[in-house]
């Protein structure tokens, strides 16, 4: 009121300047606008710069993890070492542990050096064997157990080179670095150079990084993200199967059926609050409720999925309610008008129209859950865990497993620098998954969402 | 209606899982992050050589591991706790209260604790426990008197040390490594610098003085690292003047970034640690729940495999990774064979 009377009391002077000539005030306003545009562009530019930096560093650090160095070894499977009694009984062959295979590898190495005319300063097989991954013995043993008839023959294996040899071919390890390293010597690298020339050592694409299981600290060259990828898959199944029905049912009830009173208001506020709760809180809740109280198994994807369900529910409820709200009331009125029950109007008319929004919200929620690490720390999914492939669906849910982000975290803290590279490599896979999910969400929204 | 089906199937999954949760066929190990690498190496080889599935090894620190170990007996509790220190009386009591009475203590070998700094940083090449005490204690002896630590440079109390700001990254209190650092370095330094005597002379009881000896200054020159050695390494990477506390095995994997300092003139190596010349070392243990032997498949086999000569012996993979093998390994093997409890 006072404003109106004030402006009425002092009428504005008619503008005295020319339209073509800007007065000082207009210039200032225009300058402010230009400045603001510049700030905006600078902000976007900085954001893009960080994104590019991030992607470049991820790709640069992570891509080497996808190739691995292999050494071709003709190994003579000596019968007197592997099957003393000569009856080719798998049970007896199994009694020879992986340590029993090391002499065969030493011999094969000496043979490769000899065949390629490589001079070696190493007399002892154990010194020479530093070039080969410790996984080689297990690989050969598994082969012999599966093919006992091959004992006595010479079989050619492509075994993994040790992480430092691999690092040398990738440019991560130099001769100077090895000066004080007891895991490998510069002389080994001379041998590797010559073997590479001869074709016995080669760096090729490494599928087992994508499909394989985790490995112990002493053999990063063998580690893969495959098993923890399965762990993530089973967790996401639990999240999807629980949070989608619960979340959608809760939001349909709250949005369409529930009376508007203090209680529903309170519930609404608390759902929004839950969405903002830090994920570690859900982790400790999961530990207390699912593991210590309900006695579900430790480190199991089922428990991880339950915890992440708690975390994803608010996201799904909020987005589902938003998309239910965006369906115009005329749809409901029309359905009710032709005699549909309330439930029929919701399930036959409102829900199908809201579906694209619900699915988008669900996918975004799942993507969030897929990248979550903090709650998994507390329920025991970090460590040397993702070492066995699940035997079936039940074992996939219940046997200890890790998840992709937890595996990446675990690799990043291991001592051998080769694991650091694998952590970056794992991040690439995780990002690809997240990007795919987000793209699907965007497509769903673009394709099917209706606007009124 | 598909929601109903979905909900029903979800409930079914939950029900199946709850009933199947009763059977566990894989070993569960948790505890010290120092022992984790060794345990994971053994677990991997165990999975390769036996019909049992590869055991699961989690980290989290000695205290956290022993706490979980002492939660009780049953398939929902861990079978083995790794520790980089011996179990404490308090923990044994907590174990007993939860029904964990028969515990087998297995010493797997020794681990050296080294002090390392950036490869091209100041020349921190030789320390005495007294130097670290003077650098990190809240109260030190200056001219015969006990005063608040006035030092900001290493060279201020030992002219042989470089003229660099004091900054040390030490393991946090939940790590077993911290205890060794306190006992073998700070307490030793406290005694040799005369601070212990001065504290007792100033009217402190002996116990209080010993506790005061292992305190560290809180003005930011000593930083607790609660995470793993990788975190310490990252801190060292960004602070050329800093020194950090590492396990020998971790240092040996990162010799391209770190240089190690001698302690009391002795180079930390497996040989000097085994002989006891290098003072800062500690035994590594794991603890087995005897009640789980025979219940959880493969538990005894795993323990036997862990301390077998070909694994934990001087030429085994653990020693290659940095463990100092135990000269009394044969006794340990016999102990596991007979399932002798503590």
Q: Is B17 on the interface with A (CB under 8 A)?
A: yes
Contact B41 A295 (CB under 8 A): no
Mutate to test the interface with A, among B4, B10, B52, B174 (most CBs of A within 10 A): B10
Residue B295 sits in the same domain as residue B220: no
Range of the domain at A364: 226-448
**Minimal Cα distance from A384: which residue of B?**
B57
User: Using the beta-carbon criterion (under 8 Å), do A291 and B76 form an inter-chain contact?
Assistant: yes
Q: Is residue B17 one of the residues assigned to a domain?
A: no
Do B248 and B153 lie in a common domain?
yes
State the best of A362, A383, A390 to mutate against chain B, taking most chain B CBs within 10 Å. A383
In a domain, A40, yes or no: no
* CB pair distance less than 8 Å for A388 and B39: no
Q: Is residue A2 part of a domain?
A: no
Tell me how far apart the alpha carbons of residues B111 and B277 are, in angstroms, rounded to a whole number.
13
Same domain flag for B86 and B134: no
- pLDDT tens figures, A21-31: 888 898 999 99
Residue A262 sits in the same domain as residue A317: yes
Q: B264: how many CB neighbours lie within 10 A of its CB?
A: 15
**Looking at residue B204, what is its pLDDT?**
84
**Rounded-to-integer distance, Cα A330 and Cα A308, Å:** 37
Nearest Cβ partner for B28 among A138, A218, A298: A298
List, for residues A145-180, the tens digit of each pLDDT value. 998 888 888 999 999 999 999 999 998 888 888 888
CB interface of B with A, residues 207-236, below 8 Å: 227-231
Question: CB under 8 Å to A404, separation ≥6 — which residues?
Answer: A225, A228, A229, A231, A232, A370, A426, A429, A430, A433
Q: What is the largest CA-CA distance in chain A?
A: 116
What is the C-alpha to C-alpha distance for residues B8 and A281, in angstroms, rounded to an integer?
Answer: 28
**Residue A213 belongs to a domain:** no
Q: Evaluate whether residue B323 is within a structural domain.
A: yes
Domain shared by A142 and A288, yes or no: no
B298: left (phi over 0), alpha (psi -120 to 50) or beta: left
Count of residues making up chain A: 452
> Residue A375 is inside which H or E element, if any?
helix A374-378
Q: How far is B8 from chain A (nearest CA, A)?
A: 10
Do B68 and B80 have their domain in common?
yes
Q: Domain boundary residue among B281, B299, B315? A: B281
Angle at the Cα of A90 from the Cα atoms of A87 and A96, rounded to 5 degrees: 95
Distance from CA of B32 to the nearest CA of A (A): 11
Q: How far apart are CA B330 and CA B121, in angstroms?
A: 43
- A288-313 tens-digit pLDDT: 999 888 888 888 999 999 999 999 99
Q: What is residue A114's DSSP assignment?
A: H
Q: What percent of chain A has pLDDT over 70?
A: 96
In this structure, what CATH number is given to the domain that contains residue B74? 3.40.190.10
pLDDT at res. A339: 94
Tokens read off for A297: 């198994």
C-alpha to C-alpha distance for A343 and A349, rounded to whole angstroms: 10
Q: Are residue B33 and residue B84 in the same domain, yes or no?
A: yes
Domain for residue B12, yes or no? no
A34 in any annotated domain = no
Calpha distance A181→B253 (Å, rounded): 7
CA separation for the pair A351, A106 (Å, rounded): 68
Output the domain CATH number for residue A416: 1.10.3720.10
**Do B141 and B211 share a domain, yes or no?**
yes
Whether A398 and B21 lie within 8 Å, measured CB to CB: yes
A41 occurs within a structural domain: no
Q: How far is CA B109 from the centre of its chain?
A: 12
Task: Assess B7–A contact: CB distance below 8 Å, yes or no.
Answer: yes
A412–B44 C-beta distance less than 8 A = no
Spatial separation of the C-alpha atoms in residues A167 and A173, rounded to whole Å = 5
Percent of chain A predicted with pLDDT > 90: 64
User: Between chains, do A295 and B317 touch, taking CB under 8 Å as contact?
Assistant: no
Indicate the residue among B281, B298, B313 that finishes a domain.
B281
**Are A188 and A250 found together in one domain?**
no
Selected residue of A144, A351, A384 to mutate for chain B interface (largest B Cβ count, 10 A): A384
Cβ contact B56–A299 (<8 Å): yes
Whether residue A5 has pLDDT greater than 80? no
State whether A92 and A193 are in the same domain: yes
Q: Is this prediction's ipTM beyond 0.90?
A: no
3-state secondary structure of B142: strand
Does the residue B14 lie in any domain?
A: no
Same domain, A74 and A159: yes
| Residue of chain A whose Cα is closest to the Cα of B51 | A94
Q: Exposure pattern of A216-241 as b/e (b: 16+ CB <10 Å)?
A: bbbbbbbbbbbbbbbbbbbbbbbbbb
* CB proximity under 8 Å: B 38-57 to A: 39-41, 43-45, 47-49, 53-54, 56-57
Minimal C-alpha gap between A243 and chain B (Å):
9
B255 and B225 belong to one structural domain: yes
Closest-CA residue of A relative to B308 is: A99
Structural domain includes residue B342: no
Query: Which of B281, B302, B319 represents a domain boundary (last residue)?
Result: B281
pLDDT at position A11 over 70: no
Token code pair at residue B99: 């029904």
User: Are the C-beta atoms of A311 and A271 separated by less than 8 Å?
Assistant: no
Same domain flag for A256 and A121: no
- pTM score: 0.86
Q: What pLDDT does residue A2 have?
A: 47
- Based on the domain organization, do A173 and A238 belong to the same domain? no
Q: Which of B17, B44, B229 sits opposite A216 (nearest CB)?
A: B44
What is the count of structural domains for chain A? Answer: 2
A59 token code pair: 């790709």
B219 φ/ψ angles, rounded to the nearest 5 degrees: -95, 20
For residue A263, the model assigns a pLDDT of 93
* Residues of A in Cβ contact (< 8 Å) with B70: none
Residue A33 lies in a domain: no
- CB atoms A385 and B320 under 8 Å: no
Residue B314 is part of which domain span? 26-110+283-337
The pLDDT of residue A14: 57
User: Cβ–Cβ of A302/B9 closer than 8 Å?
Assistant: no
Kindly report the number of other CB atoms within 10 A of residue A255's CB atom.
19
Is residue B20 situated within a structural domain?
no
C-beta separation of B113 from B166 below 8 A: no
CA-nearest of A296, A282, A311, A444 to A377 is: A282
Q: Which of residues 281-310 of B touch A (CB under 8 A)?
A: 310
Nearest-CA distance from A322 to chain B in Å?
19
- Please check whether residue B277 lies inside any domain of the structure: yes
Q: Which among B41, B105, B111 has a CA at the least distance from the CA of B269?
A: B111
Residue A182 has pLDDT above 90, yes or no: no
CA distance A113 to A99: 22
pLDDT of residue B177: 84
Range B107-143 burial, b when 16+ CB lie within 10 A, else e: bbbbbbbbbbbbeebbebebbbbbbbbbbbbebbbbe
Which of B336, B293, B291, B272 has the alpha carbon at shortest distance from B108? B336
- In terms of phi and psi (left: phi > 0; alpha: psi -120 to 50; beta: otherwise), the region of A295 is left
Q: Give the pLDDT score at A109.
A: 92
Task: Flag whether A278 is in a domain.
Answer: yes
Residues B297 and B271 occupy one common structural domain: no
Cβ-proximal residues to B80 (8 Å cutoff; 6+ apart), any chain: B27, B28, B29, B30, B31, B69, B286, B287, B288, B289, B299, B302, B303
Interface test with B, best of A96, A185, A223, A387 (most B CBs within 10 A): A387
Residue with tokens 């934990």, as numbered in its chain: B312
The helix/strand/coil state of B313 is coil
Q: How many CA atoms lie within 13 A of B276 on its CB side?
A: 2
Please give the full DSSP string across A82-99, using - where no structure is assigned: H-TT-S--HHHHHTS-GG
Chain A residues in contact with B3 by the CB 8 A cut-off are 245, 248-249
> B8-21 as b/e, with b when 16 or more CB fall inside 10 Å?
eebeebbeebeeeb
Helix (H, G, I), strand (E, B) or coil at B230: helix
Beta pairing, strands A154-160 & A383-384: unpaired
Select from B20, B33, B42, B49 the residue whose CB has the most chain A CBs within 10 Å, as the one to mutate to test that interface. Answer: B49
Q: Domain ends where: A149, A170, A205? A: A205
Cα of A373 to nearest chain B Cα, Å = 15
pLDDT, residue A349, reads 93
Measured distance CA(A285)–CA(A303) in Å, rounded: 11
Report chain A residues whose CB lies below 8 A from the CB of B230: 412-415
**Which run of H or E residues covers position A221?**
none
Residue ranges of chain B with pLDDT lower than 70? 1-23
Among A176, A385, A415, beta carbon nearest to B253: A415
Identify whether B19 is part of a domain.
Answer: no
Whether B16 contacts A241, CB under 8 Å: no
Evaluate whether B40 touches B261 at the Cβ level (below 8 Å).
no
Give me the number of domains chain B comprises. 2
| Cα–Cα distances in angstroms (integers) from residue A161 to residues A110, A131, B34, B118, B197, in the given order | 15, 6, 26, 29, 57
Average of per-residue pLDDT values in chain B: 86
Interchain proximity A385–B44, CB inside 8 Å: no
Q: Does B265 share its domain with B288?
A: no
Mutating which of B54, B72, B111, B313 best tests the A interface, going by the most A Cβ atoms within 10 A? Answer: B54
Question: Which B residues, 248 through 277, put their C-beta within 8 Å of a C-beta on chain A?
Answer: 249-250, 252-256
Rg (CA), chain A: 32
CA distances from A358 to A128, A255, A325, A365 (A): 60, 13, 11, 10
């Amino acid at each position: 009121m006072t404003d109106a009377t004030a402006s009425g009391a002092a009428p504005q002077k008619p503008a005295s300047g020319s339209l073509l000539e800007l007065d000082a005030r207009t210039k200032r306003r225009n300058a402010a606008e230009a400045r603001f545009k510049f700030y905006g562009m600078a902000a976007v530019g900085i954001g893009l710069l960080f994104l590019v930096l991030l992607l470049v560093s991820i790709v640069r650090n992570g891509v080497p993890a996808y190739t691995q160095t292999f050494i071709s070894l003709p190994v003579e499977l000596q019968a007197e070492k592997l099957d003393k009694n000569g009856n080719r009984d798998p049970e007896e062959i199994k009694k020879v542990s992986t340590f029993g295979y090391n002499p065969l590898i030493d011999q094969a190495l000496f043979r490769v050096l000899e065949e390629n005319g490589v001079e070696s300063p190493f007399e002892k097989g154990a010194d020479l064997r530093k070039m080969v991954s410790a996984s080689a013995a297990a690989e050969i043993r598994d082969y012999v157990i599966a093919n006992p008839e091959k004992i006595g023959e010479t079989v050619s294996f492509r075994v993994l080179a040790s992480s430092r040899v691999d690092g040398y071919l990738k440019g991560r390890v130099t001769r100077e670095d090895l000066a004080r390293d007891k895991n490998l010597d510069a002389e080994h690298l001379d041998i590797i150079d010559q073997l590479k020339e001869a074709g016995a050592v080669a760096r090729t694409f490494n599928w087992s990084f994508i499909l394989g299981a985790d490995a112990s600290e002493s053999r990063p060259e063998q580690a893969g993200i495959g098993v923890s990828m399965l762990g993530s898959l089973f967790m996401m199944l639990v999240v999807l199967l629980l949070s989608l029905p619960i979340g959608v049912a809760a939001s349909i009830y709250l949005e369409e059926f529930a009376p508007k009173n203090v209680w529903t208001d309170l519930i609404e506020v608390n759902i929004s609050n839950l969405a903002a709760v830090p994920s570690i809180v859900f982790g400790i809740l999961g530990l207390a409720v699912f593991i210590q109280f309900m006695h579900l198994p430790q480190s199991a994807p089922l428990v991880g999925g339950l915890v992440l369900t708690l975390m994803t529910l608010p996201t799904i409820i909020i987005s589902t309610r938003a998309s239910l709200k965006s369906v115009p009331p005329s749809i409901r009125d029309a359905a009710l008008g032709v005699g549909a029950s309330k439930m029929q109007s919701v399930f036959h008319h409102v829900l199908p129209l809201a579906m694209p929004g619900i699915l988008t919200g669900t996918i975004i929620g799942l993507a969030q859950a897929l990248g979550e690490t903090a709650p998994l720390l507390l329920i025991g999914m970090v460590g040397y865990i993702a070492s066995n492939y699940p035997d079936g669906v039940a074992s996939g849910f219940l046997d200890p497993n890790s998840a992709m982000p937890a595996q990446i975290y675990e690799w990043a803290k291991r001592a051998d620098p080769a694991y650091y590279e694998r952590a970056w490599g794992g991040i690439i896979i995780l990002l690809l998954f997240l990007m795919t999910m987000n793209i699907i969400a965007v497509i769903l929204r673009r394709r099917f969402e209706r606007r009124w | 209606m598909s929601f109903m089906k979905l909900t029903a199937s979800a409930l079914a999954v939950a029900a199946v899982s709850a009933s199947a949760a009763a059977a566990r066929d894989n070993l569960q190990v948790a505890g010290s992050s120092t022992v984790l690498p060794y345990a994971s190496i053994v677990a991997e080889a165990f999975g390769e050589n036996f019909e049992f599935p590869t055991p699961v090894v989690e980290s989290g620190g000695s205290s956290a591991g022993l706490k979980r170990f002492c939660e009780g007996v049953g398939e929902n509790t861990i079978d083995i706790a790794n520790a980089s220190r011996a179990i404490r009386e308090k923990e044994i009591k907590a174990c007993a209260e939860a029904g964990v009475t028969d515990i087998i203590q297995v010493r797997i070998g020794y681990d050296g604790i080294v002090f390392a700094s950036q490869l091209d940083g100041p020349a921190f090449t030789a320390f005495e426990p007294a130097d670290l005490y003077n650098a990190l204690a809240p109260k030190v002896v200056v001219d015969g008197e006990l005063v608040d630590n006035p030092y900001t440079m290493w060279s201020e109390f030992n002219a042989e040390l470089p003229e660099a700001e004091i900054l040390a990254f030490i393991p946090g209190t939940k790590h077993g490594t911290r205890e060794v650092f306190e006992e073998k370095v700070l307490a030793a330094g406290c005694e040799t610098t005369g601070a212990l005597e001065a504290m007792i002379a100033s009217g402190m009881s002996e116990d209080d003085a010993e506790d005061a000896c292992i305190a560290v200054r809180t003005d930011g020159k000593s930083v607790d690292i609660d995470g793993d050695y990788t975190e310490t390494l990252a801190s060292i990477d960004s602070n050329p003047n800093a020194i950090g506390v590492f396990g020998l095995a971790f240092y040996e994997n990162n010799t391209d970034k770190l240089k190690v300092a001698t302690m009391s003139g002795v180079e930390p190596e497996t040989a000097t640690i085994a002989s006891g010349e290098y003072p800062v070392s500690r035994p590594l243990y794991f603890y087995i729940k005897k009640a789980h032997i025979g219940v959880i498949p493969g538990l005894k086999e795993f323990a036997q495999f862990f301390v077998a000569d070909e694994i934990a012996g001087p030429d085994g993979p653990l020693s290659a990774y940095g463990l100092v093998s135990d000269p009394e390994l044969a006794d340990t093997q016999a102990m596991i064979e007979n399932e002798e409890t503590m």
